[in-house]
Structure 1
């Protein structure tokens, strides 16, 4: 079948959806109108690292956008305290209303006033959306009534005004006030942010990555670009013993056993009992860290030996310890050890796992594979995630596109073939999916570990020094070599080269990265290469707050350009509900346009234009008698 025949077959199918000339005309009018609407707002965040409470609040306050809209609409109607109270209601409607009910603050007058205020705010925020999208954004079951209220005008005739007033009186009198307030808050949040992009790293450091993923699984519009910590957990879920040992080591390092045991029903009790016997003088967590670290380095040895193409031999270091004199020896130089007791290591065969260590890692592997909650979350990461994404002219990925020291795309050999640039990332994306959905062979799961820590890994891009940081005191040994990408991404010519490699407009496009925490407190800027690259890792996790000086970034892209929002420390959700405490955020414009970007300028606009072209072709077939409309 040639292209013309395929096109005709497709148009015949399209005619089933639009069987009359009038239906084609109506859809053409609608779609051309949609193209002229302002581009919906996108938010970009990265490196959440389990900081559930902060992320929960930022998701609810839409990175401060709700407060901005409230101030615009109600500046002359409410004082600051009233606006703060109204914002808290939008962020946490169920909790706020429950607290007000307890304090006997709810009344018919309150419900009427609040619903009308929510209605005004929703009207103000709905101007850039088509009616179909607004109806979709309204929670199921409330569409008709909220739509009727939204259609009303302040200067409406007497009869419609009375009609809508009666609707309000009735929903309040029958006890539906709470439900309608909640429905309005959902609508407002969806109008505030049309699309959420998470540019990697849900796991490790913070306490509740599982809660973040549970929340995002209910989100109406989200995509994910995998980070190295995500890929590590994905590798663990695939059954990689090396990834599992690393996940457990990091979890213990940040004293976060709950995420394994309560979040994913993965017991580490056998490891703790084993470690207590080995290191009776240490506290339980420190002892378990030592025990799992030794298992990790033994497992890494086997993996590296199986995969010489990874070029990771520099990580084979257990045989570089002088176990008699308690020194680490590298290139003929002695270094002091921070840990000097190695009860599970045979100096004659330092990489051999003991019988107990084999039992520990076997038990952990079974727990990771059998965890139903972990399986749900990993499948969600695969469903919504990818290694990179081209979206509305921007290129999103967590780490890097590997390049050589001159900034040229690096050629990397995988499975007997050479790859570079976009082709390399496409190949890696495919291999990540094969590791979970394929036969889960050892070669595939081994590659997941390499992605976690390899210098040519698109999600890592650095040569990690975990052994040195764990066992040695000389911090000169801790310095980690990074791919040259992280040097060149501050150069405009380089970023343009990368954008063009992915088929994007280098003049208007941007690279959006996470992975590298930006030290704002030291004057470092997240905006690189004259705005061509934006690094949005602002240190969400509390462990990085001192390093960055802030508590995360949100990049906002709307019809007027780009701006970056810096978040400050957040107390907790309880304080937000009870005391109207909001996270302090500072907004900075990156790119301000003199014109308004419309849907016609977006990826969705391209799809709509294709639909319009097809409808015009269908209309011609009707006019020329090639296809017969219903009437």
Structure 2
């Protein structure tokens, strides 16, 4: 029995309001104590989705291969491989698969009945890790009563239960509700397969449908997000930062995915392309628009850096280094580099190169209005703020997208901002506070800070010195090299990983750092598992543009009751491939960590909170028993 140390009467009275009778306390104590013994929920970690909706959608639907494994486990001796694959496709894409079966006249009553029985058997097996109350919460509400009845009926027990179970299934098919119940079971199975989903940054840029990814995630019951630098950039654009807006537009033009802006978020590129066509009549419209917005960006960025010396980003402020007469740029240190082109119609020689022309100001004003008034973009950014943070400590894992700024010797780098010094976790906390102030108040310093978080060398979401000016204007590729924080090199050492974990209050000997941000070049022999498993980099290149560099199609890290498993996706099917030939993910599994015993809910953060609640409830029960508080009758 927990010791009955006197707790403040105010705390006990508050507990008594929530648990007013001894019977309610008994019920909650029994429930919590038993929950602690259940296996821990399955967590999936994904990173750097970069708008690749089709790949993400398939991985979300097949739960990174977990459903296929469960189907094989349950039906391995009763179904052929082809039948298992077709059944999996039904779970992944029930609407589409049922429509296909109807078109081929194979959606018979017997087909519906057989698949409902299979879905029920699979759902029962997968539900054993959860308390009944949680399982019922996973079922779509419209079908909950019937599915709960099916899940709790025991046809193997006696003839009456068997008859009842058969009648339930027959009635569903008879009233032509088979399709609806198959879809409901598919939702239930997917929710049972993944208890919690962690997205370690970067929804935006490169791929064509980050908006669809976010729409899908908003329907998932348990998600957390660790902001990536691309996410922070779009957050800044949605809140009205002109430097962020110019960068988002430039990136969309460079990656050829302006549909994200125009169709996804209703932000028209027409004013910019019309303006650019007058400035660069000999260029293709997209290229002209890119050149025009790039010059606006360099001006906006230069002014932003000048008013924020604490960002330490002077190396990116280079417009004034252009020698227009010699068509060269004289970089800091005196190095002369030839310009890729020397036509700058929006800069007058001898004037301040960072001043926007009236035409540029008008275009930016239109773009700012379009970004800040896009209801779809605001809805997604609000979701990123609601579910997101710069870092997360979850069940022994430290999640963040980029890096912890370090010195070359591995010590935490001290960063001075506003006259105060920060390092490690304190720097992350300060950066997140500034990001949230941008949403709360929309004032220039916080909006500027979001731009810094996107591309600053000292930003924990970036950690490298981007060479946008050099890549856009200089022909010498040697100037394009982007220096990075020592963290990205030192993460290979266990000493560094332990130090970082302990800085964030984690167990340095048993915890794990989970990063994204830097694609792992598997084809060159790089490994995502660093420092003996203390760090795992899960940016495997979901974005198709990275497939040639990484040699794979992304990673999913899975944490279950037995430990950590990393799935290296060789190929990810899409909806069409799945329906045409029951295509699926082709993955290679690697066990990162295998525990000696099955982990339970009691080993998790949720379990620790439950134990604290159990202690409080025992104290309340003692207060009821010794008369300190009177329970309600």
Shorter-chain TM-score bucket reads over 0.9
Q: Is 1:459 the counterpart of 2:461 in the alignment?
A: yes
Name the residue aligned to 1:92.
93
SS, match of residue 61 in structure 1: helix
Q: Is 1:119 the counterpart of 2:146 in the alignment?
A: no
Name the residue aligned to 2:301.
300
Give the drift of 1:534. Answer: 0.4
Asked if structure 2 preserves the Cα contact closer than 8 Å seen for 1:463 and 1:481, the reply is yes
SS, match of residue 337 in structure 2: strand
Give the drift of 1:340. Answer: 2.8
Name the residue aligned to 1:204.
205
- Runs (4+) off by over 4 Å: none
Name the residue aligned to 2:471.
469
Asked if structure 2 preserves the Cα contact closer than 8 Å seen for 1:346 and 1:352, the reply is no
Give the drift of 1:358. Answer: 1.1
Name the residue aligned to 1:390.
393
Out of 487, 490, 493, the position equivalent to 2:492 is: 490
SS, match of residue 300 in structure 2: helix
Unaligned runs of 5+ in 1: none
Distance of 1:27 and 1:296 partners within structure 2: 58
Asked if structure 1 preserves the Cα contact closer than 8 Å seen for 2:155 and 2:161, the reply is no
Give the drift of 1:469. Answer: 0.8
Instruction: With the length of structure 2 as denominator, give the TM-score of the two structures.
Output: 0.97
Distance of 2:431 and 2:518 partners within structure 1: 21
SS, match of residue 407 in structure 2: coil
Distance of 1:624 and 1:403 partners within structure 2: 56
Instruction: With the length of structure 1 as denominator, give the TM-score of the two structures.
Output: 0.97
Name the residue aligned to 1:417.
420
Q: What CA deviation, in whole Å up to 9, does each residue of 1:298-351 have, x standing for no partner?
A: 111111111122121111212222222222222333322223322222121222
Give the drift of 1:10. Answer: 2.8
Name the residue aligned to 2:378.
375
Q: What CA deviation, in whole Å up to 9, does each residue of 1:580-606 have, x standing for no partner?
A: 111211111100112111000000001
> Number of paired residues?
627
Give the drift of 1:571. Answer: 4.7
SS, match of residue 398 in structure 2: strand
Q: Is 1:128 the counterpart of 2:105 in the alignment?
A: no
Distance of 1:249 and 1:435 partners within structure 2: 22
Asked if structure 1 preserves the Cα contact closer than 8 Å seen for 2:155 and 2:165, the reply is no
Which structure 2 residues correspond to residues 34-113 of structure 1 after superposition, within 5 A? 34-113=35-114
Give the drift of 1:461. Answer: 0.5
Give the drift of 1:512. Answer: 0.4
Asked if structure 2 preserves the Cα contact closer than 8 Å seen for 1:394 and 1:512, the reply is yes
Name the residue aligned to 1:515.
517
Q: What CA deviation, in whole Å up to 9, does each residue of 1:261-301 have, x standing for no partner?
A: 11111111111111111222221111111111011001111
Unaligned runs of 5+ in 2: none
Distance of 2:262 and 2:245 partners within structure 1: 14
Out of 445, 448, 468, the position equivalent to 2:450 is: 448
Out of 335, 357, 361, the position equivalent to 2:360 is: 357
Q: Is 1:163 the counterpart of 2:193 in the alignment?
A: no
Please report the RMSD computed on the Cα atoms of aligned residues, expressed in angstroms: 1.4
Asked if structure 2 preserves the Cα contact closer than 8 Å seen for 1:261 and 1:267, the reply is yes
Question: Which stretch shows the higher mean deviation, 537-546 or 94-103?
Answer: 94-103
Give the drift of 1:5. Answer: 8.8
Distance of 1:6 and 1:430 partners within structure 2: 34
Distance of 1:202 and 1:75 partners within structure 2: 37
Give the drift of 1:13. Answer: 3.0
Asked if structure 1 preserves the Cα contact closer than 8 Å seen for 2:154 and 2:161, the reply is no
Q: What CA deviation, in whole Å up to 9, does each residue of 1:180-202 have, x standing for no partner?
A: 11111111111110000000000
Name the residue aligned to 2:410.
407
